[in-house]
Structure 1
Amino acid sequence: MIGASILLTVAVLLLLGFWSARRVRGSAGNFTLAGRTLTAPIVAILLMSQVIDSNATVGAADLSGGFGFWAGAAMPIGLAVSMLLLGLFVAKRVRAMELSSLPSYFLQRFGRPGELLCSVLAIVCFGILMAGNLVALGLLMEYFAGVPYWLSIVIVAGVALAYTLVGGMFASVYTGVFLMGVMTLGFVGLSLWMFMGPGYSAPEGLGVLDFEQLTQSSAGSVVNWATIFALGLGNLVAIDVFQRVSSSRSPGGARAAGIMAAVGTVVLCVPLAAVAVTGAGLLGDFDGPLLFGLLTGPVPQPIAITVIAALVAASLTTVSGIFLASSSIIVTNIFTGARATAMISRAGLLSASRYAMVPVAVIGIIVALRVNHTGILLTLAFDLLCASLVAPFLFSLWTRIASTRALMISTVLGLGLRMVFFVLTPTIYGVDNTLLYLPNDVIGVEMDGWSTFVAAAVSAIAYLAIGMTDRPRHQVGLPAATAMPVRSPEAAAAPVAAPAPAPATEPMPEPVSAATSSG
């Protein structure tokens, strides 16, 4: 029954995705940004999809069952913090700039070098995130539907690719509405079942009131706070988040969407950590993902079916969003210049955006087949962003410091240091480092978690120190009148040889000091 429901969910999403194709109407702007017509509730739903996908939910449940309530709750709390910060301080400004992607922002503030650096880092980090979702979906289909793991990954990646190719951002909208319905029913039903059925219980030291998980390093406090920090700040430079905010109907709607997503994440997702802790006691020594054991065991089947449908829908929506955002970056931000633009013009920007998704999907499938991890990949992706792009993005958004040299040096130092810690630390967020570990006697498990803060701090300090002394020689984008033009999807499609004037773009608003801005 559960296996059939998974296949039915995949079929429904595929049909909704193809149905959404009628909204594209041959426009690249409709394809990548839904014509900037999305209302605040729709944008909020799309923002929440990454919180409840299989990668995050299955991983958070395992962390709760193994390390305690706060270890698992750190994931939705961190993402909720990010959504709140997005709504209060970022979304309105980003939407007002009429940008098409995160690298387009870096082009404005740091020039072509910043655009390329951002494009490469964003695609790599979100390739990791996409692979984590494919892994979780592969495990889910193998466990519940009996489909071999490798075949499951190929199927789900193919489905997401198929409906995104035809529907673009509108495909995410249509599937997102379906997601919201099943998500609310499933997650609320699962929480009610726990409190009204077996009742909340937790092994000693792992419960909601065991705050040593947040205060004592021996109980995992450093790792838990590092998770909240990495997700809370790293998600602000998520390429799919940036694109969804840019698709909002208005700057005010984008701001409201972030706040709505933050509230919804806390209400729907944090209680699942308590469910997982309770489930760990009910299942005992269960060999496999904890959430899977609950859904095939004590949880009533109607609730289990709804939860699984929500996980499948959310994961496919996340994968679809990464396909879409990555292809847009490849076409409009990486392949630029006279020759590339002329090639895009001949083939058609819409077709080029679609073709660019195929290699992204293939790379994601290969990584997912080789790296069998879920939730840790989610945190790692945002951790790397915290050590590289977060400080330049936030400081350039809220201050006058926009130094290209500061961006390059701070990224090399922060990301380089984080990678050194990564390969030398035997654990990643409390889990054995089986991804890339070099045995050594220099760094031990006590550095796990601290490395996230140290690398991000080095990046921020380096950016500020260099940026504040670099003006005006190495800064670009200041004053606003000299800001570099924004390349929108339609602007990128204009033939280079055409004598027509460049498309008019709205200059970036004059940045203000964080000390004087009202936000």
Structure 2
Amino acid sequence: MAGLDGYSIAIIAFLGLSLVVGTLTSRMVKKSSKRYMVAGKSLPLFFVGTMLAAQSIDGNSSLGNSSLVYQFGFWAGAAIPIGLAGCLILTGTVYGKKLNKMALLTLPDFYYRRFGFASEGISSVIMMISFVILVAGNFAATGFILSAVFGIDFFWAMLVGAVIVLIYTFAGGLFSSAYTDIFQIYLAIGAFWAAFIFFAGGFSGTSFDTILAAAPEGYLDLSGLTTLAGGGLVNWAGIIGLALGDIVALDFMERVFAARDGKTAQRGALMGAGLTISTIVPTSMIGIIALFLIPGIPDPFTIFPTIALNHVPFWVGALMLMGVLGAAMSTANGGLLAISSVVSRNLIQRDILKKWLKRPGMDDKGLLRTTRIFTIPMMGAAFILAYMLPQPGIYLILAFDIVFAGAWAPLTLGLFWKKSNMPAALTSLIVGTGLRLLMFFIIPLELAGLDTFIPPPISFALFIIVALATQKKYPGEKRHGVVDYVPPEEDVVRGEDLKGYVESATR
């Protein structure tokens, strides 16, 4: 490891601050699984909006974005923040308010209440796989930054970042995310703009027109959206896959559930969308700037730290490094908590203990303890994937292609169509996801993007056909006196949750 310099000291201070603030939030958990998973459903607008932005602005949409732009053109990377912002707009205008009022702890809770045990189990597994991929992308981003700053092997660099995230996630749950996101994400946004303005404003000593002229033909025009040769099919697949698929995102919905009321959830999502939109230009243009500064770099994923360390003033570079690091850590924190909550709450507590073993399940302290324990193996799984295939950016799109294909139709139709039922949900989950995996192998490279576009409409259509065909045996209109929903079980859902849930379901 090289001797400490100003960059190293700045990063160590940033990591230390994140660790201390995140760990101190353990006092706010108060031995409650509900407070650990969704912050007691108490968060105001500023926290909700900031946290949603922090999940959107991550290592994939910053470092991964820039590397994709460097390799394939502006729209290849910009598709990520554009798609994520679109998702948050849809969440705020269509989904957030209604889901917040249901008093859920995890997103698979919705599939259980609406469609029963089997749908809950399958959706849980699909979302877990999706989020292990997402967290892996962000662990890889932290590894690239720390390796460049400290001159250490990628494995050890990534391990340092992953362990720090694990420690404060284990300690404070969603509260650790709320309080670390405040300084991590606004610092990231400021850093991205500082870097862009340094070059766009001519402060680097080179006119911005000269920098732009270094971009290959087609990199900055609309061909990346309008032509097959320019990557239009792939880029639109990324935008739409994220805009719709990320609605079925454990971490986004975790924050929607944590909002103190439906209006706060709605406004928080729109605030998060606005903050995400603000990063599209600076993060994407870093990839174009790198084409001028460091053409032919062997590893495109290192362009961000290379520019930060060698081509901007110290204060701008330090901000850039901390910005990407904070963005990646904040999303890894939220994703790690979301996966662990699903394992403990939906798979172990309900599907394994109650359904299959016919046991009463865990009490609240047991659920809290189990959720914390499972942050450890989930971190391990994401770490191994990130080390084997470090691909920030590509991972994000892949992660939400999976849930878009199978889980989006049951969520959307389950919320807004009274005839939705269990057979339809199972068909959509199994066929949609299976078809997406099949198309990964059979769609030729020149038609990449079709594997994103084809499965969701087939899944959606099958849901409607199966629901209509099975209405007589599985009516969707009323069950147990609660309109459209299976009542929540008693062991974890508190009295105040049940009241709010029933009120929302019967409106």
The TM-score normalised by the length of structure 1 is 0.88
In the alignment, the residues of structure 2 paired with residue 107 and residue 223 of structure 1 have an alpha-carbon distance, to the nearest angstrom, of 34
In the alignment, the residues of structure 1 paired with residue 144 and residue 359 of structure 2 have an alpha-carbon distance, to the nearest angstrom, of 41
Amino acid at match of 2:87: S
In structure 1, which of residues 253, 256, 269 is the aligned counterpart of residue 264 of structure 2?
253
In the alignment, the residues of structure 2 paired with residue 408 and residue 151 of structure 1 have an alpha-carbon distance, to the nearest angstrom, of 42
Which residue in 1 is equivalent to 2:440?
Answer: 422
In structure 1, which of residues 37, 42, 50 is the aligned counterpart of residue 42 of structure 2?
37
Native 8 Å contact 1:76 1:270 kept in 2: no
In the alignment, the residues of structure 2 paired with residue 407 and residue 487 of structure 1 have an alpha-carbon distance, to the nearest angstrom, of 20
Which residue in 1 is equivalent to 2:406?
Answer: 388
Q: How far does residue 8 in structure 1 lie from its aligned partner after superposition? A: 2.0
Any idea what the Cα deviations from partners look like across 1:82-109, whole Å, max 9, x if unmatched?
0100000010001011111111100111
Which residues of 2 match residues 150-189 of structure 1 at below 5 A?
A: 150-189=155-194
| SS of 1:285 mapped into structure 2 | coil
1:108 and 1:270, CA in 2 relative to 1: closer, same or farther beyond 3 A? farther
User: In the alignment, is residue 372 of structure 1 matched against residue 373 of structure 2?
Assistant: no
Which residue in 1 is equivalent to 2:417?
Answer: 399
In structure 2, which of residues 320, 325, 334 is the aligned counterpart of residue 321 of structure 1?
334
Native 8 Å contact 1:94 1:246 kept in 2: yes
Which residue in 1 is equivalent to 2:280?
Answer: 269
- Structure 2: segments with no counterpart, 5+ residues: 1-5
In the alignment, the residues of structure 1 paired with residue 358 and residue 154 of structure 2 have an alpha-carbon distance, to the nearest angstrom, of 38
Native 8 Å contact 2:104 2:110 kept in 1: yes
Structure 1 window deviating more from structure 2 (382-391 vs 283-292): it is 283-292
Q: How far does residue 75 in structure 1 lie from its aligned partner after superposition? A: 0.6
In structure 1, which of residues 199, 205, 208 is the aligned counterpart of residue 217 of structure 2?
205
1:472 and 1:189, CA in 2 relative to 1: closer, same or farther beyond 3 A? farther
| SS of 1:270 mapped into structure 2 | helix
Native 8 Å contact 2:233 2:447 kept in 1: no
Q: How far does residue 412 in structure 1 lie from its aligned partner after superposition? A: 2.4
| SS of 1:218 mapped into structure 2 | coil
In the alignment, the residues of structure 1 paired with residue 329 and residue 26 of structure 2 have an alpha-carbon distance, to the nearest angstrom, of 17
Any idea what the Cα deviations from partners look like across 1:107-164, whole Å, max 9, x if unmatched?
1111111111111111111111111111121122112222222222222221111111
Q: How far does residue 478 in structure 1 lie from its aligned partner after superposition? A: 3.0
| SS of 2:406 mapped into structure 1 | coil
In the alignment, the residues of structure 1 paired with residue 218 and residue 114 of structure 2 have an alpha-carbon distance, to the nearest angstrom, of 46
1:181 and 1:411, CA in 2 relative to 1: closer, same or farther beyond 3 A? closer
In the alignment, the residues of structure 2 paired with residue 16 and residue 158 of structure 1 have an alpha-carbon distance, to the nearest angstrom, of 15
Which residue in 2 is equivalent to 1:440?
Answer: none
Which residues of 2 match residues 21-170 of structure 1 at below 5 A?
A: 21-170=26-175
| SS of 2:482 mapped into structure 1 | helix
Any idea what the Cα deviations from partners look like across 1:432-487, whole Å, max 9, x if unmatched?
xxxxxxxxxxxx22220111101122111111221233224234573562632225
In the alignment, the residues of structure 2 paired with residue 489 and residue 194 of structure 1 have an alpha-carbon distance, to the nearest angstrom, of 57
Amino acid at match of 2:119: G
Any idea what the Cα deviations from partners look like across 1:239-269, whole Å, max 9, x if unmatched?
0111111000110010001111111111123
Which residue in 1 is equivalent to 2:466?
Answer: 466
User: In the alignment, is residue 507 of structure 1 matched against residue 499 of structure 2?
Assistant: no
Native 8 Å contact 1:109 1:477 kept in 2: no
Which residue in 2 is equivalent to 1:410?
Answer: 428
Q: How far does residue 341 in structure 1 lie from its aligned partner after superposition? A: 6.0
Amino acid at match of 1:319: A
| SS of 1:491 mapped into structure 2 | coil
In the alignment, the residues of structure 1 paired with residue 142 and residue 455 of structure 2 have an alpha-carbon distance, to the nearest angstrom, of 31
- Structure 1: segments with no counterpart, 5+ residues: 426-443, 495-501, 513-519
In the alignment, the residues of structure 2 paired with residue 9 and residue 489 of structure 1 have an alpha-carbon distance, to the nearest angstrom, of 40
Which residue in 1 is equivalent to 2:375?
Answer: 357
Amino acid at match of 1:344: M
In structure 1, which of residues 323, 330, 339 is the aligned counterpart of residue 343 of structure 2?
330
User: In the alignment, is residue 278 of structure 1 matched against residue 289 of structure 2?
Assistant: yes
1:215 and 1:181, CA in 2 relative to 1: closer, same or farther beyond 3 A? closer
Structure 1 window deviating more from structure 2 (480-489 vs 405-414): it is 480-489
Native 8 Å contact 2:237 2:449 kept in 1: yes
Which residue in 2 is equivalent to 1:311?
Answer: 324
Any idea what the Cα deviations from partners look like across 1:60-86, whole Å, max 9, x if unmatched?
101111211111111100000001000
Identity of aligned residues (%): 27
